[in-house]
Amino acid sequence: MRMILLGPPGAGKGSQAKNLSAALSVPHISTGDIFRANIKGGTELGKQVKSIIDAGGLVPDDLTVRIVKDRLSEPDCTNGFILDGFPRTIPQAQQLDALLRMEGNAVEVVIDLVCPDEIIVGRMSGRRMCSCGRTYHLVSNPPRMEGICDADGGSLYIREDDKEPTVRERLATYHRQTEPLIAHYKLQGVVRDIDGTMSIADTTAVILDAVRK
């Protein structure tokens, strides 16, 4: 199964990719995870990516495509993969199409996790973190005492990425840059629209049902 997960930031692509990877026995490939691992490991690629991000830039399509190409050539991708966070732009999608075509393959299914902006903003702006690594959510997983970590009494804080203006900016980028991919893949007849407002487990079940048909 060669699958791409699309959907706005905060729609739960990472959780779905993890569940689907286990259910379908294909690797979950997250370009974000690959970048982070390389930055942490201090590799040449990591240094390159870090200097771009630190300067406020976006990792160029060519570099991202090269990384994905390397990853897809590994033996565990023979029977498929789940891409999460890639492609993000039309040029990336076109290059992925060309890459797969060279091997006589194609993207088989694109899951479009549909989730309204207001729900995303509610989900993300309710997140609270503790420096011990525990995470909370004001609605779905509140701490016993407001603003205080259950485990160690630490003060909870909001990550910069979860603040409403940041979330809205990322959503705007998604609508402008990545949403056009849905039309691109609709022309190939491979898009499945999935309601992304359900629980993680229900969403996984609906996706599995859709792709096994």
Tokens representing 93?
Answer: 């999608």
Active-site annotation holds for 127: yes
Catalytic residue among 13, 71, 123, 128: 13
Question: Which of 2, 71, 88, 128 is an active site residue?
Answer: 88
> Taking CB under 5 A as the rule, does residue 149 contact Zn ion?
yes
By CB under 5 A, residue 151 contacts Zn ion:
yes
The yes or no reply on residue 154 touching Zn ion (CB under 5 A) is: yes
Q: Helix, strand or coil for residue 90?
A: helix
101 is catalytic: no
> Could you tell me the strand order of the sheet in which 191-195 lies?
28-30, 81-84, 2-6, 109-114, 191-195
Nearer to Zn ion, 45 or 130 (CB): 130
159 is catalytic: yes
Task: Indicate whether 152 belongs to the interface with Zn ion (CB under 5 A).
Answer: yes
Among 132, 145, 172, 183, binds Zn ion (CB under 5 A): 132
Encoded tokens for 110: 């694109």
Three-class DSSP labels, 117-178:
HHHHHHHHHCEEECCCCCEEECCCECCCECCECCCCCCECECCHHHCHHHHHHHHHHHHHHH
Tokens 């990425």 — which residue?
A: 161
Query: Taking CB under 5 A as the rule, which mask of x and - marks residues 14-33 in contact with Zn ion?
Result: --------------------
Residue 82-121 contact track with Zn ion, rule CB under 5 A, x = bound: ----------------------------------------
Q: Which residues form the interface with Zn ion (CB under 5 A)?
A: 130, 132, 134, 149, 151-152, 154
Residues with catalytic function: 13, 88, 127, 159, 170
